[in-house]
Amino acid sequence: MTTTKIILPESEIPTHWYNVVADMPNPPAPPLGPDGNPIGPEALTPIFPMNLIEQEMSAERWIPIPEEVRKVYQLWRPSPMYRAHRLEEMLGTPAKIYYKNEAVSPAGSHKPNTAIAQAYYNKEAGVHRLSTETGAGQWGSALSMAGQIFGIEVIIYMVKVSYHQKPYRRSMMEAWGANVVASPTDQTEAGRKILEKDPDSPGALGIAISEAVEAAATREDTKYSLGSVLNHVLLHQTIIGLEAKKQFEMVGDYPDMIFAPCGGGSNFGGIAFPFIADKASGKEVHLVATEPISCPTLTKGHYAYDFGDTVGLTPLMQMYTLGHDFVPPAIHAGGLRYHGDSPLVSQLYHEGIVEAVAVPNLATFEAGITFARAEGIIPAPETCHAIRATIDEALNCKETKEPKTLFFNLSGHGHFDMTAYDKYFRGELEDYAYPEEAIAESIANLPKF
Ligand SMILES: Cc1ncc(COP(=O)(O)O)c(C=O)c1O
C-alpha cells in the first residue's frame, strides 16, 4: 500500500526554529528611522517586548523553542504531510505532489505557529494587552486563541471588507475572547485620517496595521503583534519547513520545487527557508512564492525602502512594495492584499535565491476546486494561489514527461470563505486586471530621503 499521510510523532516537534539570516549571502538591510538612519532595538520598544526585538535582530542560526510553546504546539503539531496521489491521478501527471497541511491548527491556518510564540514572549515580558490587524481573519483568529491560552487581552483591527465578507471569522475571534473592530475605525488618528479622505474605504492591511500600531504606541499596557512580514514571525513559521524535511526523509524523497502563497511572506518563509540551508550547500531546489496578479508585490513591485503601514508609523524597511498607500482590489484572498513583503523574502528574491509567480483570480478558484474534488480538503483562497502554481507545473511535467517532485504549503482551509466560493460558482467573481495606474501613482509616493 502506498503512503498518503506522512506523520511524525509529537516527540519530533522541532526543538529550535531556523534563522535564515545565518545562511544569507549578505546581511539583511537594516530598518531605518524617519531620518533615514538605521534604527537600534530601543526604537522598537514602544510596540514590541525586548525578547521579540532580540529575535528580530538575531543572526544566530538556531533559536530554541521554549518548552511552554512546544507544549501548546502539541495540540496540532507536527502537522501531517500528504502525498496527493488522487490529484496526481486526476491530472494524469508523472510529477509527485506533496503538501503540508497547516489547516489542522485550531484556527485553521499556519498563523498560530507564531501567534502562540508571540503571546508567550509577551506574557514573559509582563504585557497584558495585544493589538493587531487582520485581513482574511486567519491571523486575528490565531492571535485571539493564543491570547486566550496565555491570558492576554486582544484587540483586533479587521479590514472592513473582510469584516463584512466573513462574519463568522469575527465570531470565532469573539469565541476566543477578543474584541474585533472594522478598520478604518474612528477610534484612532490613523483611521480618522483615512475616513476623512474616503468615508467608504474598504480598508486594507496597511491601514489596519497603522491603527493597531497606534493603539500599542499610545497605551502603556498594550504591545503590537504582527502576523507576517517581520523576521521573528518568519522565524517562528520555519517549524513548517523543518518538520517537512523530516517527513521527506521518512519517505526517502526531496522536493524539486516548493510553492507557497505569499502575502507578507510568513508561510512562504516558513516552508521555504529551511531548504535554503540545503541550497547554500549546493542542493538544487526551486522556492516559488505565489501571489495574485491584482496585488503583484514581488513580480511588479519596486525594491525600495517603504513603510510597512499606510499612514507611515512603522520604521522604513527595504522590501518589494507597491507603495504604502496602494489599496489593492477587494479580492477574496484577504491575506494576500498587502502592499509590501517581508524584507527577508524580498532580499532573497532580489538576490535570485527565491522565485515568484503571479496568478489570476479565477484560475486560483478553479485550482482550489480541482484540489477539493481530488483530495477532499477545501483550501483557503490564499492557498489556492499555491495550488494553481503547483497544478500548472504538474501539467507542464505531463507535457515534458518529467517526474518532478512538487511540494506546496496548504496554508489554511476555506471553511469561512464559502461566500467567495459561492460567488465563483455563480459567475460573480472577476479577474481583476493588474492595476498598473494605481500602482504607478502609489510608487510615486514612496518615501524620499
Ligand atoms: C490561509 C492563508 N494563507 C496565506 C496567507 C498569506 O500570509 P503570509 O504571506 O504572511 O503567510 C494568509 C494570510 O492571512 C492566509 O490566511
- What is the per-residue pLDDT across 205-256, written as a single tens digit (0 to 9) for each? 889 999 999 999 999 999 999 999 999 999 999 999 999 999 999 999 999 9
The closest-lying atom of ligand 1 relative to the alpha carbon of residue 233 is 10
Half-sphere exposure of 158 (CA within 13 A, CB side): 30
Does residue 302 surpass a pLDDT of 80? yes
Over pLDDT 90: what percentage of the chain?
A: 88
Using left for φ > 0, alpha for ψ between -120 and 50, and beta otherwise, residue 145 falls in alpha
- Ligand 1 pocket member 132 (CB < 6 A): no
8 A C-beta contact, residue 319 and residue 341: yes
Cβ atoms < 10 Å from Cβ of 444: 8
> From the CA of 101, how far away is ligand 1's center (Å)?
13
> Pick from 244, 284, 249: which is nearest to 267 by CA?
244
pTM of the model: 0.96
> From the CA of 402, how far away is ligand 1's center (Å)?
30
Measured CA to CA in angstroms, residue 98 lies from 7, 111, 353, 370, 387 at distances of: 13, 21, 22, 15, 11
> From the CA of 107, how far away is ligand 1's center (Å)?
12
Does residue 343 surpass a pLDDT of 90? yes
Confidence of residue 173 (pLDDT cuts 50, 70, 90): very high
Does residue 327 surpass a pLDDT of 90? no
- Ligand 1 pocket member 416 (CB < 6 A): no
Does residue 59 surpass a pLDDT of 80? yes
Task: Report how far residue 420's alpha carbon sits from residue 426's, in angstroms, rounded to the nearest whole number.
Answer: 10
Does residue 372 surpass a pLDDT of 80? yes
Does residue 153 surpass a pLDDT of 90? yes
Count, residues in the chain = 449
Task: Report how far residue 344's alpha carbon sits from residue 322's, in angstroms, rounded to the nearest whole number.
Answer: 17
Instruction: State the pLDDT at residue 17.
Output: 98
Task: Report how far residue 47's alpha carbon sits from residue 41's, in angstroms, rounded to the nearest whole number.
Answer: 11
> From the CA of 37, how far away is ligand 1's center (Å)?
31
Q: Which residues of 4-37 are buried (b: 16+ CB within 10 A; e: fewer)?
A: eebebeeeebbeebbbbbebbeeebbebbeeeee
- Ligand 1 pocket member 321 (CB < 6 A): no
Contacts of 188 (CB under 8 A, 6+ apart): 210, 211, 214, 215
Does residue 334 surpass a pLDDT of 90? no
Does residue 449 surpass a pLDDT of 90? no
Helix 138-150, helix 167-175: angle, nearest 10:
10
Which residue ranges form the domains of the chain, and what is each CATH number? 68-108+231-443 (3.40.50.1100)
Using left for φ > 0, alpha for ψ between -120 and 50, and beta otherwise, residue 376 falls in left
Does residue 330 surpass a pLDDT of 90? no
Does residue 332 surpass a pLDDT of 80? no
Task: Report how far residue 280's alpha carbon sits from residue 301's, in angstroms, rounded to the nearest whole number.
Answer: 26
β-bridge pairing 5-6 and 81-83: antiparallel
Task: Report how far residue 336's alpha carbon sits from residue 343's, in angstroms, rounded to the nearest whole number.
Answer: 16
Helix 231-251, helix 266-280: angle, nearest 10:
60
- Ligand 1 pocket member 264 (CB < 6 A): yes
Contacts of 348 (CB under 8 A, 6+ apart): 20, 24, 276, 354
Q: What is the mean pLDDT of the chain?
A: 95
> From the CA of 110, how far away is ligand 1's center (Å)?
8
Instruction: State the pLDDT at residue 87.
Output: 98
Return the higher-pLDDT residue of 334 and 115: 115
> Pick from 176, 138, 183: which is nearest to 157 by CA?
183
- Ligand 1 pocket member 137 (CB < 6 A): no
Q: Which residue has the cell 499610545?
A: 218
8 A C-beta contact, residue 141 and residue 115: no
- Long-range CB contacts (within 8 A, 24+) of 46-52: 46/216, 46/217, 47/213, 47/216, 47/217, 47/223, 47/224, 48/223, 48/224, 49/121, 49/122, 49/124, 49/125, 49/127, 49/223, 50/125, 51/121, 51/124, 51/125, 52/118, 52/121, 52/122, 52/232
> From the CA of 367, how far away is ligand 1's center (Å)?
17
Instruction: State the pLDDT at residue 162.
Output: 87
The closest-lying atom of ligand 1 relative to the alpha carbon of residue 334 is 14
Does residue 335 surpass a pLDDT of 90? no
Q: Which residues pair with 290 in a beta bridge?
A: 261, 357
> From the CA of 447, how far away is ligand 1's center (Å)?
27
Instruction: State the pLDDT at residue 328.
Output: 82
Instruction: State the pLDDT at residue 384.
Output: 98
- Ligand 1 pocket member 98 (CB < 6 A): no
- Ligand 1 pocket member 267 (CB < 6 A): yes
> From the CA of 267, how far away is ligand 1's center (Å)?
6
Name the residue at shortest CA distance from atom 7 of ligand 1.
263
Task: Report how far residue 194's alpha carbon sits from residue 157's, in angstroms, rounded to the nearest whole number.
Answer: 14
Does residue 280 surpass a pLDDT of 90? no
Instruction: State the pLDDT at residue 301.
Output: 96
Confidence of residue 333 (pLDDT cuts 50, 70, 90): confident
- Ligand 1 pocket member 412 (CB < 6 A): yes
For the segment 365-388, the average pLDDT, to the nearest whole number, is 98
**Tens of pLDDT, residues 256-266:** 999 999 999 99
- Ligand 1 pocket member 262 (CB < 6 A): yes
- Ligand 1 pocket member 109 (CB < 6 A): yes
Over pLDDT 70: what percentage of the chain?
A: 100
